[in-house]
Amino acid sequence: MHYFFLFSFFSLVVVETQTLWANPSPTKKVTKAKKTRSTGQEDSSKTEEKKTESEADDVTVAPGATAIKLLAKQAILIDARTGRVLLEKHADERMTPSSMSKMMTSYLIEEKIKKGELSLDMSFPVSEKAWRMGGSKMFVPLGGMVRLDDLLRGIIIQSGNDACIVAAEGIAGSEEQFVTEMNAAAKAMNLTNTQFMNTSGWPQEGHYSTARDLAALGLRIINDHPESYKIYGEKEFTFGTDSKGRPIKQGNRNPLLYSDMGCDGIKTGHTDDGGHGIVASFKDMGQRYIMVINGLKTMQARANDAKMILAWAKQNFINKQLYKAGDIVEKAAPVWLGVKETVPLVVTDDVSVLLPRTEQSKVDIKIHFDSPLQAPLKKGDIVGKVTILAPSTQHEVALAAGEDVEKVNFLTRFFRSITYLLWGKA
C-alpha cells in the first residue's frame, strides 16, 4: 500500500514538473511605474486636451503651446522623431509645390543609387528639351554628357530645372515616364494629396501637393538616405563655365542655411502661383524638426515666418533625454529555470521625448514585461517595452535582456519544480 502511494505521488510529480518546465505558475503581466523624472515642480493645473487655435490666422498648435500668427497660407511643423504635429495651418490644402517638387525627383535618384540600380559615376546626355528649359538652371551644355553626381547636386543645390530633365531622360527614357515613377512613389508613401506632372515643379495644371505631404517626403529623404542628405546642406556648387570661360558657381537657394537657426536642408520653391515656400529641417538641442511653409509673397516674408516658427518651437518645447541605448531600467527581472535567477533589462534605443515646457515635470515611465521571464535568454532578446507617458504624448521603446541566461540542466529543473509544487517557490 505504501509503495503504491509513493508510485502514484511520483507519477503526479513527473507530470506536474513537465508542465512547470514549459510553464511556471500563471505568468504575471508586470507593469512597473517608474518615478517621474522631473527638474521642476508639479503643476496641479489640469492639462488642456483640445488644441488651441488662433482665430486670427487659423494656426492650430499642440496642447500646452502658445498661439502664433503666420503670414504663410499653408504651414506645418512636425517632430521628426515621432511625426507628431506641433503646428499646422491649412496643412491639407492643395497648393502649388513649385521647386519643392524636386524633393521627389532627388529621392527617386537616391533610392535607385541605394538599390544599386544607378551609380554616381554614370553620365547622361543633355537633350535640347533639357537645354532649353527655363527657370532656375544648372546650365548643362547642349549635347554634352553630365555625371549623375553633378546632376544630383544641380537639382538639390542649384534647383536646376534642366538638371531634372537630363536625369529623368537618362534614367527612365523620358520625363513623362520618370513622372509616372514619382507618382507611384508618392502613392507608396501614402502622400494622398500629391500629384506630379513634371520633375521640376514647373507650373502645370494638375501638379499639386500639401504641406503635410511635403513634410512627410522631407522626413523620408532624411531617414531613408542619410548619406545623400548631406548634399542638401552644401552651400554652393560649381558647374560649367560662362561665355568668358569662367566657372559658374551658384549658392544654395535655401537662405536658412546661412543663418544660425540650425537648418541643414532641404528645399525651397517659388512660382507666381504658389508664392515663396520652403521645406526645411533644423535641429535644436538634439531635437530635429521638419517645417513647411508656402504662399508667402516675398523671400523676406518666408524667412521671417521660418524664424518665427523656430523661435516659437524653442519657447514652447523642450527635448528631455530619459535614457541612452543600453541603459538599465530594471536591475533584476525574475527568470524561470535559468542559471541566474534574475536578469537586468535595458532599453534598445535612446529614449527622448519632446514636451511642452508646461509638461516637463509630468513624465511617467512604465515598464512592461511578462514575469517571470523564461530561460534561455540571449542578450538583446526583446522581452517587453518601456512606455513614456505625458499629458499630450506617449512614446514606447523596446526592452531587452541585458545578459545571456542559460537554462538549468534536467536534474536542477526537476528539483526546482518539486520545490515549487511543495512550497510555492523554486
3-class state of residue 271 by DSSP: strand
Judgement on whether residues 223 and 142 belong to the same structural domain of the protein: yes
pLDDT at res. 9: 41
Is there a domain that residue 200 lies in? Answer: yes
Judgement on whether residues 326 and 291 belong to the same structural domain of the protein: no
In angstroms, rounded to a whole number, what is the distance separating the alpha carbons of residues 235 and 255? 9
Q: What is the CATH number of the domain that holds 341?
A: 2.60.410.10
Measured N-to-C along each axis, helices 102-114 and 148-156 cross at an angle, to the nearest 10 degrees, of 150
Judgement on whether residues 278 and 394 belong to the same structural domain of the protein: no
Judgement on whether residues 100 and 152 belong to the same structural domain of the protein: yes
Is there a domain that residue 67 lies in? Answer: no
Domain total for the chain?
2
Is there a domain that residue 379 lies in? Answer: yes
3-class state of residue 22 by DSSP: helix
pLDDT per 10-residue tile (average), the chain, 426 residues: 43 42 49 48 38 57 94 97 95 98 98 98 98 96 98 98 98 98 98 98 98 98 97 96 92 94 96 97 94 97 96 94 93 90 94 89 92 93 94 88 86 59 56
Is there a domain that residue 306 lies in? Answer: no
Judgement on whether residues 28 and 83 belong to the same structural domain of the protein: no
Among 278, 296, 314, residue at a domain's last position: 296
pLDDT at res. 21: 46
pLDDT at res. 286: 87
Q: Which domain holds residue 109?
A: 72-296
pLDDT at res. 44: 38
- List active site positions: 99, 102, 159
Judgement on whether residues 401 and 341 belong to the same structural domain of the protein: yes
Judgement on whether residues 164 and 227 belong to the same structural domain of the protein: yes
Closest residue by Cα to residue 277 from 153, 99, 83: 99
Judgement on whether residues 190 and 255 belong to the same structural domain of the protein: yes
Q: What is the CATH number of the domain that holds 256?
A: 3.40.710.10
pLDDT at res. 426: 52
Judgement on whether residues 190 and 93 belong to the same structural domain of the protein: yes
Is there a domain that residue 201 lies in? Answer: yes
Is there a domain that residue 184 lies in? Answer: yes
Judgement on whether residues 194 and 252 belong to the same structural domain of the protein: yes
The C-alpha cell that represents 245 in the structure block: 570661360
pLDDT at res. 43: 42
In angstroms, rounded to a whole number, what is the distance separating the alpha carbons of residues 174 and 340? 65
pLDDT at res. 420: 55
Judgement on whether residues 235 and 281 belong to the same structural domain of the protein: yes
Is there a domain that residue 417 lies in? Answer: yes
Among 281, 296, 311, residue at a domain's last position: 296
Contacts of 105 (CB under 8 A, 6+ apart): 155, 164, 167, 168, 178, 182, 199, 200
Judgement on whether residues 287 and 327 belong to the same structural domain of the protein: no
In angstroms, rounded to a whole number, what is the distance separating the alpha carbons of residues 156 and 160? 8
Among 246, 261, 296, residue at a domain's last position: 296
Instruction: Report CA-CA distances (Å) from 172 to 80, 164, 168, 380, 420.
Output: 32, 12, 6, 44, 69
Is there a domain that residue 209 lies in? Answer: yes
